[in-house]
Amino acid sequence: LFLGTVAGSPSSIQASWKVFEVTSLLRSWLHQAVAPGHHFFEVSGLPTPATVATHSPTPSDAGPGDPVLPQDVTDRVLLLVFSKDKSPGEHSLIRTAETAPAAAIPGEEGRSLCRRVDMMVDFEQTGWGSWIVYPKKYNAYRCEGQCPTPVDETFKPTNHAYIQSLLQLYKPNQVPCPACSPVRMSPLSMLYYEKGEIVVRHHEDMIIEECGCN
């Protein structure tokens, strides 16, 4: 498979390893149409470039008494790629605890568990309607409900929140339940007057997208 060529620059330092930056070549290949029978990998926003390191041993690489193998046998290529792994972690404290033997846990029947509910914000009612042009109102949502004991991964708890919920199960008078709170937020773009001019601002953490127990 031929992807392209990479230009190298001569170096005054004699070294057996040569490093080439091949990010652009890989991106072009990975984003193009893939023929049947080939694996497809989706790559977005590599945090650092992908590099290829080639090793061509020289006589100086061999130790005393070691034979110098032909170059076509000893040439090696190493491809190093930095990417973001979006797959769920294999070693999760919560997942391990949920599959381990444990005492019977009382049911959660009759309890309203942590969830996201509507919360409409009307800027006319808050007194901001005179300078906010858009939006005049929007749904910011809020988090409501109780967290189960012990809390499971459905509610996106931290390890600390899981331990706290476990202690609350056995010591309800000493340890409170984790709180139902936002775990994922989204921004809101707003159009309003600022110093006599109309401006557009992008404000973070204005809308709750998901609630959890922390």
pLDDT score, position 45 = 42
CA distances from 94 to 38, 41, 112, 146, 156 (A): 36, 29, 22, 19, 10
Is 111-213 a CATH 1.10.579.10 domain?
A: no
pLDDT score, position 120 = 98
Average pLDDT over residues 65-92: 54
**Strand, helix or coil for residue 42:** coil
Least confident of 28-37, 69-78, 94-103, 160-169: 69-78
Residues of the chain with CATH 2.10.90.10: 111-213
pLDDT surpasses 80 at 203: yes
User: Cβ(180)–Cβ(147) under 8 Å?
Assistant: yes
pLDDT surpasses 80 at 174: yes
pTM of the full predicted structure? 0.51
Work out the pLDDT band at 154, boundaries 50, 70, 90. Answer: confident
pLDDT surpasses 90 at 90: no
Q: Which two tokens stand for residue 20?
A: 């080439």
Which residues, 6+ apart, have CB-to-CB distance to 197 below 8 Å?
none
